[in-house]
Amino acid sequence: MSEPTSAPAGQAVAFGVLAALGAVVFGTSFGYGILAEGGRVGPGLLPMATGLLLLLLATTQLISRLRAHPFRRTARSSEPIRREDRSSDVDEAGAGDAGAGVDVLGRSEAQRVRQLRTVVVATAVAVLLIPLLGFLPAMGLLVLFVSAVVERRPPLVALAVTAVAVAAGYGVFAEFLDVPLPTGAVGELLGW
């Protein structure tokens, strides 16, 4: 039997980074103001909600990964049983371990962890690009990267997804919520 992989440890690290990112977004959102004049939605409300949601979801997943252990103990014995030695066990859903680790898209656990790490790094890079490019271009590049590179969608599909995401972001923030979006240094040079 093969030895347990470090994939759960990698997932725990990735979810820890996401939880920390959520905490930072949540904490910094208060500097933008949660409510504006007249009780209107302020520019910090959506980052606050998003940061809190990311923090809660990533922390839940982090705890789940940390609780997962390559050994389990039985109620009658204090001797650990290796997961590899219980191949005849049935999981809670009633199915065996056949096909475990491969999702409905055919990705292995290692591929999913690699994609998660790539998206976390790409998100951090996109956030760092906001002061230079502005919010919409930076997030558009992030969506394009995730669609084309991480998810390996055809170029036209990736561009269409990006265009819809940028248009939706503009519609929600700039038009519906009337929140000024960061234009970045490039936007200021171009007079946006």
pLDDT tens digits along 83-104: 454 444 444 444 444 456 788 8
- pLDDT exceeds cutoff 60 at 140: yes
Q: pTM higher than 0.75, yes or no?
A: no
- pLDDT-derived band at 122, boundaries 50, 70, 90: very high
- pLDDT-derived band at 120, boundaries 50, 70, 90: very high
% the chain with pLDDT above 70: 80
- pLDDT exceeds cutoff 70 at 37: yes
The CA distances from residue 156 to 8, 17, 137, 165, in Å, are 35, 32, 18, 14
Which residues are registered as beta bridge partners of 41? 35
- Segment 148-186, tens digit of pLDDT: 999 999 999 999 999 999 999 999 888 887 878 888 888
CB burial of 32-41 (b: ≥16 within 10 Å; e: otherwise) equals eeeebeeeee
Residues in the chain: 192
Question: Comparing 11-20, 76-85, 113-122, which segment has the lowest mean pLDDT?
Answer: 76-85
- pLDDT exceeds cutoff 80 at 26: yes
> Collapsing DSSP states into helix, strand and coil, what is residue 44?
coil
Among the listed residues 70, 102, 101, 109, the one whose alpha carbon sits nearest the alpha carbon of residue 86: 70
Phi, psi of 71 (to 5 degrees): -120, 155
Within 10 angstroms of residue 6's Cβ, the number of other Cβ atoms is: 12
Domain locations along the chain: 1-70, 107-192
pLDDT of res. 74: 47
Which amino acid, residue 112? R
Among the listed residues 1, 190, 18, the one whose alpha carbon sits nearest the alpha carbon of residue 117: 18
- pLDDT-derived band at 72, boundaries 50, 70, 90: very low
Give, to the nearest 10 degrees, the angle between helix 7-29 and helix 109-133.
30
